[in-house]
Structure 1
Amino acid sequence: MKKYAIILAAGKGTRMKSDLPKVLHKVTGKTMLDHVRVAVSALSPDKEVIVVGHRADDVLASLADGPEFVKQEEQLGTGHAVQIVAPLLDKDEGTTLVIAGDTPLISGDTLEKLFAYHESEGATATILTAIAPDPTGYGRIIREGGQVTKIVEQKDANEEEKAVPEINTGTYVFDNKALFDALTKINNNNNQGEYYLTDVIEIFKNAGQKVCAYSLDDFEESLGVNDRVALSQAEKSMRARINHNHMVNGVTLIDPETTYIDADVEIAPDALIEGNVVIKGKTTIKSGVVITNGSRIVDSVLHSNVEVRNSTVESSIMETGSNIGPYGHLRPQTILHENVHVGNFVEIKGSTLGANTKAGHLTYIGNATVGEDVNFGAGTITVNYDGQNKFHTEIEDHAFVGSNSTLIAPLHIGKNALTAAGSTITSDVPDDTVAIGRARQTDKIGRAKKLPHYKKLDD
């Protein structure tokens, strides 16, 4: 039997108080819509259709694979949103999932179980339900003799129905042809003046068709994000899930409650991460990596046995055995090869440092290619920008850059060359050369007594 999926992503999300479409708000670094699509992908649907509406172009631009979509010009309710998918699906035999794009905590495992239950029961419709500690605001599942008879929205429920704790999560599985046939029979005679998808349940029951409900084991998965409070709840829950999975897979998190790891981060077993660490984007961390308190890693690759001590690494690569910190900063397009040492208050941007090179402290390296076994003394600066253009510095193997050297790009420093401490280097330095670029010291004996700062010492 073929499987189809309809993802509802047309809403503006008024309660979010944001111009950004609701489904594009992020949870652990991924949009809510992306989270839902990852869960749906566990079903390997034969066709996936996304219903877009508010700022549809922005929603579609966020989806790299160009899925099929329909546009809901007016938001007239969930029933209407599914109705407009009919030209793409209503002739097909199969089973269709309908899910909201603002339910980022739903898991692929849950959707697989929902489908399996639906098929085992031979149902026309199966509703994913949950028992809510406080059901206020949710549609209620109304049963008679244990069987689902209808779903009543909060604003249309009477007092007895409002007391029902079983709620509709907004996720359903339907016989595809039966769904689109029933949608032709719904109306908007309700307090909202909208076409409710939930009305098809009563249509099925009145036609003697079987309607089932599959209850979630974990109520958290049912969370629909309608405001910033729920968004923060989703973030906290997803982060706890992510951290739990990493720890189960062999990663040591010293303080999981203060460790923030995005959904797409990959971490190998035997990595150790201290508290107050943020790891974002598409970061990959290999075995034996140590990341200490206060570090921030974004879109980077950290190979085996790398150490990041209270530092920031952005869009960079640290190869095996390299280390940084404390208070170091790797800016985008930086590569540290094996066993490179970057110390405290060192910033590197758009540069490659060869194996065993060291920049111990108080140094800026920008737009440079640096060979192996190069040593940077404290206070070194590559002057790569003249206010209009960026220029490149090349430093070859075994060079020694003396403390407080200023290297004016474009510049080439040869193998085994040395720049004397305090030098400003403006010309290329050949191999095996010592370059001294500083003014000769001149002493004016006694001249200090005539300067405003001078204070005569007591005899």
Structure 2
Amino acid sequence: MPVQTTNVDEKPDATQTSSGEALAVVVLAGGLGTRMRSRTPKELHPLAGRPLISYVLDAVQALPAVQRILVTSPAKVELVACVPPGWEIVYQAEPLGTGHALAQALPHLRPEVSWVLLVFGDHPLLTAPDLERLCAAAQAQRPLAAVLTTVLSDPAAYGRIQRDEQGRVIGVVEAREDTTAYAGPVEVVSGATLYQRQWLEEALPQVPRSPSGEYYHTSLVGLAAATAHPGEPVITVVAPPETALGVNDRIDLARAEAVLRDRIVQAHQRAGVTVVDPATTWIEPEVEIEPDARIEPFTILRGRTRIASGACVGPHAVVRDSVIGPESVVVASVIEESVVGARVHVGPYSHLRPGTVVEDGVHIGNFAELKNARIGRETRIGHVSYIGDADLGERVNIGAGTVTCNFDGVAKHRTVVEDEAFIGSDTMLVAPVRVGRGARTGAGSVVTKDVAPGATVVGVPARPIELRRARRDGRTGA
């Protein structure tokens, strides 16, 4: 059958391994992932905020490869959007197993390639250091095949390494074909295998078809072991147990998430961040946290969030794609696509929506909602207020229940409150409107017109208090 290929970029990486022998990496992502029971391709399911396959691609991207190939199904073309520049895409038209998928990549290998590293796109816990150790061992010992393995007390559905009485690898037996009762830990295949390219091209056509109708790449291990070769034809490099975790269903996805979450939290802890309860803390990979920040229980930090030194976030906080400045405190609140300055207090139960910028020393209290707003230094928004599409100056006081009425049914309008203004409780600011420096509004006012600096307005609609007094005095005859 014809093999389709797409170049993502015309200028791929042209580095080599330390020995000068060129390495190609082939990532297999052709399976349909039916056990996920999802319309979304398995490799695109989110894992700690990123597509599952992105972790595999990152690990591979760190290797000195001259060629990187992703083998996928024509039914999963969405994967191409995740692939970095420089990769080649090869389509496996029929899902006939991992050996068949690898065979689709072979015609596209560049002439200079000496080693071919096979990696699975659904093994997100593989790391670049593990793959580098595998490559280094192969470069040193020159086997036909080098297998990354791990040791599990329960081999589950993983292929099991078979050895002879002298301890030499003689093959891999798939779980469905293994009837052995194991009394102890079992060495299993762990998601990556490195092959000598010349031998691979000769051996791959010899891979037998399994009873299920598929061609397993693990059959190559037995073929290599049976090949006359100086030294060991097959070697193994043992990696931590989590590297074997391939994601086949939602249970596996949750397990991978837990491992990845632990890795991320521990890295921050080693860098000087206090994470009070790692078991209830979710931190995505791109989050940056400076030393001496404190993350309280039941907190979720997502996207490109940055937490400065001395800040305390949580408990029960959600922060996405936002900046939290030094010495600021966020308690039981949600912050999205916003910037919070230094020494700011937010919450509990407040919501900063996209486009909000909070300058230093601000207090945002209970049940406040801010959207596309700029809040000046030392301003206080105490309780139960909505500040949307607004600019508040410095040292402004926002009374409880204040609302910027920013939408007239057709368009959004902006509210401006200048420095040191005092907005009384339950004030409605009907945009577009400006409250001048040092001005005041009475409780329950509905402000529909600009308020002059220093003026006080009250009532519905709000008018300067002097005018109201004059009208009152006129009615009483004073």
- Give the structure-2-normalised TM-score: 0.87
Cα separation, partners in 2 of 1:302 and 1:197, compared to 1, 3 Å: same
Cα deviations by residue, 1:213-271 (Å, 9 ceiling, x for unpaired): 33434212211111111111111111112111111111111111111212221111101
Report the counterpart of residue 59 of structure 2 in structure 1.
39
1:349 corresponds in structure 2 to 371
- Checking the alignment, whether the CA contact within 8 Å between 2:356 and 2:370 is kept in structure 1 is yes
The alpha carbon displacement at 1:100 in A equals 0.7
Superposition map of 1:303-342 within 5 A: 303-342=325-364
Residue 22 of structure 2 is matched in structure 1 by 2
CA contact under 8 A between 2:66 and 2:113: conserved in structure 1?
Answer: no
Cα distance, 1:78 vs structure 2: 0.5
Of the three residues 296, 318, 324, the one matched with 1:296 is: 318
Task: Say if 2:153 and 2:185, in contact at 8 Å, map to a contact too.
Answer: no
Q: Which residue of 2 aligns with 1:240?
A: 262
Deviation at 1:66, TM superposition (A): 7.1
Distance 1:284 1:94, change over 3 A: farther
Given candidates 278, 300, 307, the residue that maps to 1:285 is 307
Contact 2:147 2:234 (8 Å CA) reproduced: yes
How far has the Cα of 1:37 moved from its partner?
1.5
User: What is the Cα deviation at residue 149 of structure 1?
Assistant: 1.9
Q: Distance in 2 between matches of 1:213 and 1:410?
A: 73
Matches within 5 A, 1:79-98: 79-89=99-109, 91-98=111-118
Corresponding position of 2:192: 171
Describe the SS at the equivalent of 1:137.
coil
Cα deviation, residue 163, structure 1: 8.9
**Any idea what SS the aligned residue of 2:364 has?**
strand
Residue aligned with 1:8, SS: strand
Partners of 1:161 and 1:54 lie apart in 2 by 40
In structure 1, the partner of 2:415 is: 393
* Deviation larger for 358-367 or 278-287: 278-287
* Contact residue 348 and residue 365 of structure 1 kept, 8 A: yes
Give deviations 1:170-189, integer Å, cap 9, x for gaps.
3111223332332233242x
Please tell me the residue identity of whatever aligns with 1:154: A
- In structure 2, distance between residues paired with 1:158 and 1:327: 57
1:257-287 deviation digits (Å, cap 9, x = unpaired) = 1112122211111011111111122211111
In 2, Cα distance between equivalents of 1:119 and 1:276: 46
- Kindly report which structure 2 residues correspond to 1:96-135, keeping only aligned pairs within 5 A, or say none: 96-135=116-155
Distance, in Å, in 2 between the alignment partners of 1:119 and 1:31 is: 32
How far apart are 1:295 and its partner, in Å? 1.1
Distance 1:27 1:416, change over 3 A: same
Judge conservation of contact 2:72–2:89 (CA < 8 Å) in 1: yes
Counterpart in 2 of 1:74? Answer: 94
Corresponding letter in the other structure for 1:362 = V
**Structure 1 segments (4+ residues) deviating >6 Å:** 160-164
Shift of 1:203: 2.8
Is the aligned partner of 1:136 residue 2:156?
yes
State the alpha-carbon separation in 2 of the partners of residues 433 and 67 from structure 1: 66
Q: Distance in 2 between matches of 1:400 and 1:80?
A: 73
Count of matched residue positions in the alignment of Structure 1 and Structure 2? 440
The answer to whether residue 225 in structure 2 is matched with residue 200 in structure 1 is no
Task: Give the C-alpha shift of residue 350 in structure 1.
Answer: 1.3
SS of residue in 2 equivalent to 1:427: coil
> What letter corresponds to residue 183 of structure 1 in structure 2?
L
Deviations, residues 104-130 of structure 1 (Å, cap 9, x unaligned): 111222111111111111122100111
Q: How does 1:144-183 map to 2 (within 5 A)?
A: 144=164, 145-159=166-180, 165-183=186-204
| 1:338 partner SS | coil
Tell me the residue number matched to 2:290: 268
State the Cα distance separating 1:31 from its structure 2 match. 1.9
Deviates more, 1:32-41 or 1:51-60: 51-60
Q: Tell me the SS of whatever aligns to 2:147.
A: strand
Aligned-pair CA distance for 1:205: 2.9
Matched, 1:51 2:71: yes
SS class of match (1:94): strand
Whether 1:24 aligns to 2:44 is: yes
Distance 1:66 1:425 in 2: 59
Provide the residue aligned with 2:245 in structure 1. Answer: 223
Task: State the shift of 1:358 in Å.
Answer: 1.4
Q: Distance in 1 between matches of 2:396 and 2:179?
A: 77
Structure-1 separation of matches of 2:445 and 2:399 = 12
- Per the alignment, in what secondary structure is the counterpart of residue 239 of structure 1? helix
SS at match of 2:111: coil
Q: Deviations over 1:317-339 (max 9, x none)?
A: 11122220111111112111111
SS in 2 for 1:142: strand
Counting only pairs closer than 5 Å after superposition, residues 416-431 of structure 1 correspond to structure 2 as 416-431=438-453
In 1: Cα distance, 2:225 partner to 2:300 partner: 51
C-alpha distance 5-136 of structure 1, shift in aligned 2 (>3 A): same
CA distance in 2, matches of 1:218, 1:384: 56
What is the aligned-residue identity percentage? 38
Q: CA deviation at 1:82?
A: 1.2
Question: Which one-letter code corresponds to 1:413 in the other structure?
Answer: V
Residue 158 of structure 1, CA deviation: 4.6
* Distance in structure 2 (CA, Å) of the matches to 1:93 and 1:142: 29
Structure 1 unaligned segments of length 5 or more: list them: 442-459
Q: Distance in 2 between matches of 1:107 and 1:394?
A: 51
Instruction: Report the AA paired with residue 424 of structure 1.
Output: V
* Counterpart-to-counterpart distance in 2, 1:44 and 1:287: 36
Q: Hey, what's the Cα distance between the residues in 1 that align with 2:361 and 2:85? A: 39
Letter in 2 for 1:383: C
State how far apart, in whole Å, the 1-side matches of 2:82 and 2:392 are.
Answer: 38
Unaligned stretches of 5+ in structure 2? 1-20, 462-467, 470-478
Deviations 1:359-396 (A, max 9, x none): 11111011112222222111100011123322222222
Q: Partner letter of residue 415 of structure 1? A: R
